[in-house]
Amino acid sequence: MNLVILTEQDRVGKGRFVLADHRAVHIRTVLRITPGETVEVGLVDGPLGTALCESSSEHELVLTCDHWREAPVPTPTIDIVCAIPRPKTLRKLLIFSAIMGVRRILFVRANRTDKSYLQSPWLQPEQHRPFLLEGLSQGRQTRLPEVHTHQLFRPFVEDTLPDLENREPVPSVKLLSDPYAAQVVGELGPLSTGPRYLLAIGPEGGWVPFEMELFAAAGFRPVGLGPWTLRVEMALVAAIAQVSLVDRMRNRHE
Amino acid sequence: MNLVILTEQDRVGKGRFVLADHRAVHIRTVLRITPGETVEVGLVDGPLGTALCESSSEHELVLTCDHWREAPVPTPTIDIVCAIPRPKTLRKLLIFSAIMGVRRILFVRANRTDKSYLQSPWLQPEQHRPFLLEGLSQGRQTRLPEVHTHQLFRPFVEDTLPDLENREPVPSVKLLSDPYAAQVVGELGPLSTGPRYLLAIGPEGGWVPFEMELFAAAGFRPVGLGPWTLRVEMALVAAIAQVSLVDRMRNRHE
């Protein structure tokens, strides 16, 4: 727990928060913060702060924080399109996305999404929050990624994605991770005006040709991540790491 | 299981292998290979092949393979130096390293290595193999990464690393992942005649200043991976993904 994430539900006064769950236990027994000491906190979708531990018992821990500072907003802005994965992978994708400051995760049912995955309780929006909060805490982030799930592939790519795109101030760079792509992300030439990327990460076994074609028609360009067959959550990390690196190098050279 | 990994222990004849463990179950019940059908196989530290399923029962599965082809060797060659992590992370590092074709993993006891981690049974060399094999199978690799564990930090950096380096035909590019580094891997200027990299991935909480200084004296250059606080196994993936990308872009331009 690199940052103690606070929510409005924890608030009992203006700058006063009461924790009575695993966070309190962690602060007391792992971080070993005692009353009078301070701990770094972040408010969900809000600022960072240094909170004072007022009291601590087996049952609850009271923190006060009156001085807040802006949490840095990750740059570039990265949105992810991802095939609905097996539940264990879904959980990792939520945590990893929050750690890496992803703005929005769009899960879509792909041809290779096993039917059983759709029954996963973890696919329900109310189940995402604990994993996202765990990621924020690990990654020292405060901005909760948006998560959406779409059951129909074609309308998602043909209608939903353009609708979302139209609401943005600048067009995104759309990339599709494809092990057979001839190019890597650094070889695509000038990318765009915006520091905004939409990355499509395939399911185990990859997107099927029909899906690849729809993505291509929607403006996605295939890129290879490297000579590996990665797990989905590893592909997420590799893709974000490479896109962020190339984005930063481009901006330095301009 | 993207590739069925065979070992010499499975061999019962020239091109004949008998499996009686989870691989046989997976081939029968997940891949649903029946006698007469073929499956992709790889021999540990050896070639790839297409094996014929001769027979399959609840107890064992017999494969024959007479035609082998060279397994591709990952490029660039990547060696990893990593602080001895908590057991759960160690397991992931072994799997992820095998997936990404890492040649050698050097675990070293760091200042921030918790004493309890040293008691982990998973630190014993004979415990590594199942995780490495799982990674080879996922990553379609056949070359088993070498794993070494070192208990003393200073002699490791001052003696062991130079000894290993002296045995190599070309010097390695040595990089140290450091969240406070001013530069990213693409900004370091000309790197080497390579293509060989030695990447040092810190423990949770990072290397301490004393360790950073010894690494710097040993020729390691600090690089930032991006604006994130990553889990160790994510840092491994991000570092390898970025180094491979930059290596490939450099080689294209030369």
Residue A138, pLDDT above cutoff 70? yes
Q: What mean pLDDT do residues B171-194 have?
A: 81
Q: Which of A43-47, B18-22, B193-197 has the lowest mean pLDDT?
A: B193-197
Q: Which two tokens stand for residue A66?
A: 């009156």
More confident residue, A74 or A134: A134
pLDDT bracket for residue A243 (50, 70, 90): very high
Is residue B193 scored above 90 in pLDDT? no
**Within chain B, where are the H helices?**
22-29, 87-99, 125-139, 153-155, 161-166, 209-217, 232-253
Kindly calculate the radius of gyration of chain A based on its CA atoms and give it in whole angstroms.
20
User: Does the pLDDT of residue B205 top 60, yes or no?
Assistant: yes
pLDDT attached to residue A254:
54
Give yes or no for B162 touching A (CB within 8 A).
no
Residue A230 touches chain B, beta carbons under 8 Å? yes
pLDDT at B36 over 70: yes
pLDDT at residue B253, rounded to an integer:
62
**pLDDT tens by residue, B56-83:** 999 999 999 998 999 988 889 999 999 9
* Burial class, A141, CB count within 10 angstroms (exposed 0-12 / middle 13-18 / buried 19+): buried
pLDDT of residue B170: 84
The alpha-helical segments, DSSP class H, found in chain A are: 22-29, 87-99, 125-139, 153-155, 161-166, 209-217, 232-253
Cα B250 from chain centre: 23
Residue B250 CB neighbours (<10 A): 17
Instruction: Please give the average per-residue pLDDT across A43-58, as a whole number.
Output: 96
Between B99, B140, B228, which is nearest A100 by CB? B228
A133 close to A44: Cβ distance less than 8 angstroms? yes
Considering chain B, what percentage of its residues have pLDDT values greater than 90? Answer: 79
How many angstroms separate the Cα of A116 from the Cα of each of A113, A123, A153, A154, B221?
8, 11, 17, 21, 47
Say whether pLDDT at B250 is over 90.
no
pLDDT at A195: 80
B55 strand-pairing partners: B62
Burial class (CB in 10 A: 0-12, 13-18, 19+), A16: middle
**B228 at interface of A, judged by CB pairs closer than 8 A:** yes
Q: Which residues of A touch B244 (CB under 8 A)?
A: 226-227
* pLDDT tens per residue across span A202-228: 998 899 999 999 999 999 999 999 999
Model confidence at A10, pLDDT cuts 50, 70, 90, reads very high
Return the exposure string of B11-50: e unless at least 16 CB atoms fall within 10 Å of the residue's CB, then b: eeeeeebbbeeebbebbbeeeebeeeeebebbbbeeebbe
- Cβ contact A30:A1 at 8 Å: yes
Neighbours of A210 (CB within 10 A): 11
Chain A residues whose CB is inside 8 A of the B230 CB are: 99-100, 139, 237
Q: pTM of the prediction? A: 0.95
CB contact under 8 A, B227 and A96: no
- pLDDT-derived band at B190 (thresholds 50, 70, 90) equals low
Q: Tell me, what amino acid is at B199?
A: L
